[in-house]
Structure 1
Amino acid sequence: MTITASPPSPARTAAQVQGLWLGVAGVLMFALSIPMTRLAGGTVDAPQLPPAFVAFGRAAVAGVLSVLYLAACRAPWPQRREWPALAFTACGVVLGWPLLLGLAVRRVDAVHASVVSGVLPLATAVLAALVLRQRASWGFWACAGAGLGLVVGFAAWRGAGALVAADGWLLAAVVCASAGYVSGARLSAGRPAVQVICWVLVLSLPLTVPAAVLTRPTAPVAASAWVGFAYVSLFSMWIGFFAWYRGLALGGTLRVSQVQVLQPFLSMLFAVPMLGERLDAMTLAFAAAVLAVVWLGQRQRVH
């Protein structure tokens, strides 16, 4: 007797394709975050919006939009046991990542920051393995060590043999984002992921709104800085998550999440025409090596 596999359902195939394109759209939005953050904050020589204002202000804008969204979809209030995890997630993705990234990209260019932050997917996997007490293979830990070594080596090369403070801020930002992603993922087991990020932003409003007011710019800034601020508020902090999480749900987490490894390259490509930065062969080589290690690490066995 011959058994043949039934062809995939056309509806299911269409949903997977739609999910993949939504995932690509989410990655494109997130890839612009680093160049737009530098555009909003400027450089040490030509400062624009204060990094603290960019971090707190973008979360405040996204938080107000989240209030409207949660009210429109009549989302249930978080349970008491969820509040600590929501607060921890907020510390990572609403406060830590944007603030540390903003401080860093005032001192190093967006291309530099894109390479260092390229280990974010692998760092998230490492924290998930530690927090969830999973048994990872030696290959997984070897990739994690290689990824960190590549990033530190790249930072030292760009710093003429020494690490600079901005590299420490970038690595700390990666840790903050990874911790926030892991905490948010655990919360997403009980409610839609989009609602999780919205509640995280709403919970942060009592802090982000006053902080944004206190850190607002006191001197005129370029119109381009406000464009960068508007982008990171609307797309990096809010709309991007809608596209990304919807893409994961429709296309499958395993399939769609793989496109995230392209994010560092996209960030660098955007930074060249937007900010006039230079992309040299050695930087591309480091970025390709980081991408390869992240790609390989995601395929290692974790029990």
Structure 2
Amino acid sequence: MRAQNSATGSSTIAVTASGPAASGTATRPAASGTGAAAGPDSRTGTLLAALGVLAFSLTFPSTVWGLESFGPWSLVTVRSVLAALIAGAFLLAGRVPLPDRRHWAGLAVVAGGVVVGFPLLTTLALRTSTTSHAAVVVGLLPLTTATFAAIRTGRRPSRTFWIAAVAGAVVVLAFTVQQSGGALSAGDLYLFGALLVCAAGYTEGGRLAGLMPGWQVVGWALVLCLPLMTAGAAVALAYEPVRLTAHGVAGLVWVAAGSTFFGLYVWYRGMARIGIPRASQLQLAQPLLTLFWSVTVLGEDLAPAAPIAAVGVLVCIAVTQRAKS
């Protein structure tokens, strides 16, 4: 699930494609510059951010494994409950005070887009779409979030930025139409819906992350959803059959603890040390890593167009990151 990393100021937004777990919020203002100076602290930050990218890249394969044991509604609600319990434990251990009342509306947007919307829609999509296909489509998330952020903040990115953003959208649309035999499938519609709701959540999370640490934004969003997700899990588990397997349990544990919490925690810690621009460069490897896992872990047959489209999207994202706002 990731509220993960939208940049503030003059930086361009870059977002992970985590399932979920993925979160695209900004770091605190001190970390939104060009990055820390080289040294031990910088190396540690790079390692932490790289661990975050690695965790996020495993979200889709883990979701596919989780679907071996759980229905889509059960998987989404149970993973959210487990992630909320972990986040709540860390918030309590750190004696983190409750956010101001004025922040709860924004946290609700983050929760709706990142905690509920993105995991649910991508899980529904992965019942019929391959992880490699989903990785390419959701690779467009940084550009989608950048567009939402431009609208939300009133900033006007450069013409180069918009040309690259439109080019990335065209690449993904052409790929999905080609892979679906000339028309968008139901899985594609779920994935495009996931892009929209997650981008909205990431954008609002980016605003809140200027007021509190990013991991606390995600933590409070998870806790906010806990009552709803607990009730939803009870209903879903009663109606959807559960067939526990080693893959299914491992997939559930990873999307809850690995992607949704651990990934976000190390990502934000790393980004705070090295800055958003350097961390975002590491994130460009995430779609290609997911393609690698789809072949080596799931044994999927990789369509020749998938890596080509993924590289095309990454080039467009790299251009938007370097374009002046």
Match of 2:13 in 1: none
Distance in 2 (CA, whole Å) between partners of 1:219 and 1:192 is 37
Q: Does 1:232 align with 2:255?
A: yes
Map of 1:61 onto structure 2 = 82
Instruction: Report the counterpart of residue 96 of structure 1 in structure 2.
Output: 117
Whether contact under 8 Å (2:45, 2:274) holds in the other structure is yes
Per-residue deviation at 1:76?
Answer: 1.0
**Which of 1 and 2 has greater Rg?**
1
Equivalent residue for 1:160? 181
Q: Is the 8 A contact 1:23 1:257 kept in 2?
A: no
Give the Cα–Cα distance (whole angstroms) in 2 for the partners of residues 29 and 164 of structure 1: 28
Distance in 2, matches of 1:59 and 1:20, equals 28
Deviates more, 1:167-176 or 1:215-224: 215-224
Give distance in 2, aligned partners of 1:11 and 1:154: 40
Q: Which runs of 5+ in 2 are unaligned?
A: 1-35
Question: 1:281 maps to which residue?
Answer: 304
Residue 227 of structure 1 aligns to which amino acid in structure 2?
A: A
The one-letter amino acid of 2:150's match is A
Aligned-pair CA distance for 1:88: 0.7
Alignment of 1:27 with 2:50, yes or no, is no
Change (3 A) 1:219 1:33: closer
Aligned partner of 2:65 among 29, 39, 51: 39
Pick one of 231, 234, 251 that aligns with 1:210. 231
**Aligned residues of 1:16 and 1:252 also touching (Cα < 8 A):** no
Deviation for aligned residue 1:182: 1.2
Amino acid at match of 1:275: L
Q: Choose the corresponding residue for 2:205, options 166, 179, 184.
A: 184
Residues 24-79 of structure 1: per-residue CA shift (max 9 Å, x gap): 1000000000111111114xxxxx41111111111110111111111111101111
Query: Is 2:267 the partner of 1:254?
Result: no
Identify the match of residue 49 of structure 1 among 48, 52, 70. 70
Letter of the 1:222 counterpart: T
Report the residue type matching 1:295 in the other structure. Answer: A
What TM-score results when the alignment is normalised by the length of structure 2? 0.86
RMSD of aligned Cα (Å) = 1.4
Aligned partners of 2:204 and 2:37: how far apart in 1?
Answer: 33
- Deviation readout 1:213-272 (Å, 9 max, x if unpaired): 211243424331111111101011111110000010011111112211111000010111
Provide the rounded CA distance (Å) in 1 between the counterparts of 2:262 and 2:178: 36
Structure-to-structure mapping, 1:88-127, within 5 angstroms: 88-127=109-148
Following superposition, the deviation at residue 128 of structure 1 comes to: 0.9
CA distance in 1, matches of 2:145, 2:293: 24
Which region of structure 1 is more displaced relative to structure 2, 223-232 or 11-20? Answer: 11-20
Note the C-alpha offset of 1:282.
2.1
Give the distance between the partners of 1:97 and 1:33, measured in 2 at CA: 12
SS at match of 2:97: coil
Separation (CA, whole Å) in 1 of partners of 2:122 and 2:77: 12
Partners of 1:209 and 1:196 lie apart in 2 by 20
Q: Which residue of 2 aligns with 1:198?
A: 219
SS of equivalent to 2:285 = helix
Residues 1:149 and 2:175 are matched in the alignment:
no
**Identity between Structure 1 and Structure 2 (%):** 37
Distance 1:107 1:94 in 2: 22
Counterpart of 2:302 in 1: which secondary structure?
A: coil
Contact 2:135 2:287 in 1 (8 A): yes
Aligned mates of 2:101, 2:172 — CA distance in 1: 40
Structure 1 unaligned segments of length 5 or more: list them: 1-9, 43-47
User: What TM-score does the superposition give when structure 1 sets the normalisation length?
Assistant: 0.92
